[in-house]
């Protein structure tokens, strides 16, 4: 996962004792989903303009700072894992908290909800906080006085799924400052205009852009996902809970699929693919590639080729694999096409993750 760049300025007041372990053995009661914060058609809530890296003492008694934000195509392995689907990306906010109350205080994400606003005034809600060192545990700690989370390398993050073409212009923390007649802290993001966000963006509130290989051509904001997404043979790309790598393609008139050679006048294009599991828990091969929705081939004449199925890397057998985090597994994907045809573009996705196009022009 690509880490968010933490601001170089040391945030005063946030230094704290090392993070104490959560009690993973005890299940916390399920929290109700808070209602979406309405930002249209009502008077603006009283609040202060926030800046990344600045500490605000909230009515809850927690010191709170947003340290940064980013766009990403990687999954966020939280208690409720966020996977990027087709025509989606993630917006991830990095925060730091510290209990300034004199007593132990539970930190409840639903009381520190983030409302994310895009340039078209659509809103997205984030309240599931993730501590990077404990991705499979719901973050609902009882925090002792003076202790906190999110400093150093153990990141505390909130992620939301947003459309591939959305550009975020504002973040609203749905908590006001302690001792003030306020209800929210608003962060106007760098590059936003008054017409888009209500006020011009603060240059200090800069969002880390998408990696260049996933970015739409000509997009100066770094927020828009390319369409189509393109990938290089031999390079891993994230798709759903997996990263996929096209290792190469071959053509054959003698190779068999389930015991059958290609039909008369046909040949197989065989793509060798490696999947790496980038999610949490366990997952199955079925959720990598199992239908023609996850593997498409267009030949040099622009015609769609027939998806035949998936086999083991070295045997004419159904691939079988139970993935644990970090596991890799190679397999073959078969297509049928005319004997004199060559592949032009192979598109692959894991499950309903983003579809990536591989150029096969040099593969004969």
What mean pLDDT do residues 204-211 have?
Answer: 97
Report yes or no: 350 and 289 within 8 Å, Cβ to Cβ. Answer: yes
Q: CA dihedral in degrees (177, 182, 185, 188; nearest 10)? A: -140
Mean pLDDT for the chain overall = 88
pLDDT given at position 285:
95
For 72-101, write each residue's pLDDT tens digit. Answer: 999 987 767 788 999 999 999 999 999 999
Report yes or no: 243 and 325 within 8 Å, Cβ to Cβ. Answer: no
> Cα–Cα distance between 134 and 122 in angstroms, integer?
31
**Rounded to 5 degrees, what are φ and ψ at 110?**
-70, -20
- Residue 257 DSSP one-character state: B
> Cα–Cα distance between 64 and 175 in angstroms, integer?
10
Instruction: List, in sequence order, every residue forming a beta bridge with 245; answer none if it has no partner.
Output: 274
Question: Which is it for the CA torsion 310, 311, 313, 319, positive or negative?
Answer: positive
Report yes or no: 105 and 61 within 8 Å, Cβ to Cβ. Answer: yes
Residue positions counted in the chain: 364
For 106-128, write each residue's pLDDT tens digit. Answer: 999 999 999 999 999 999 999 99
Which pair of tokens denotes residue 359? Answer: 């150029």
Helix (H) or strand (E) holding 181: none
pLDDT given at position 363:
65
Report residue 216 CA to chain centroid gap.
17
């Amino acid at each position: 996962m690509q880490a968010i760049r933490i601001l170089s300025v040391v945030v005063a007041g946030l230094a704290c004792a090392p993070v104490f372990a959560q009690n993973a053995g005890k299940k916390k009661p399920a929290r109700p989903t808070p209602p979406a914060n309405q930002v249209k058609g009502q008077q603006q809530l009283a609040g202060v303009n926030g800046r990344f890296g600045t500490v605000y003492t909230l009515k809850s008694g927690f010191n709170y700072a947003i340290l940064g934000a980013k766009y990403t195509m990687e999954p966020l392995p939280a208690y409720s894992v966020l996977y990027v689907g087709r025509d989606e990306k993630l917006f991830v906010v990095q925060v730091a908290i510290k209990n300034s109350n004199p007593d132990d205080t539970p930190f409840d994400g639903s009381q520190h909800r983030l409302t994310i606003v895009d340039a078209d005034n659509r809103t997205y809600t984030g309240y599931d906080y993730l501590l990077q060192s404990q991705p499979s545990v719901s973050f609902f700690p009882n925090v002792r006085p003076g202790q906190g989370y999110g400093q150093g390398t153990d990141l505390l993050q909130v992620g939301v799924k947003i459309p591939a073409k959305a550009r975020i212009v504002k973040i609203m923390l749905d908590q006001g400052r302690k001792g003030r007649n306020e209800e929210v802290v608003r962060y106007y993001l760098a590059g936003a205009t008054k017409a888009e966000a209500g006020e011009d963006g603060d240059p200090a509130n800069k969002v880390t852009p998408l990696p260049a290989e996933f970015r739409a051509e000509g997009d100066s904001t770094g927020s828009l996902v390319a369409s189509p997404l393109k990938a290089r043979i031999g390079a891993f790309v994230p798709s759903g809970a997996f990263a996929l790598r096209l290792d190469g393609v071959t053509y054959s008139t003698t190779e068999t699929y389930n015991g059958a050679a290609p039909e008369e006048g046909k040949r197989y294009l065989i793509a060798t693919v490696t999947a790496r599991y980038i999610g949490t828990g366990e997952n199955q091969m079925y959720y990598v590639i199992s239908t023609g929705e996850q593997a498409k081939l267009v030949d040099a004449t622009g015609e769609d080729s027939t998806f035949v199925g998936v086999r083991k890397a070295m045997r004419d057998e159904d691939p079988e694999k139970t993935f644990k985090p970090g596991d890799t597994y190679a397999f073959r994907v078969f297509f049928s096409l005319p004997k004199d045809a060559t592949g032009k573009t192979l598109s692959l996705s894991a499950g309903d993750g983003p579809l990536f196009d591989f150029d096969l022009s040099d593969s004969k």
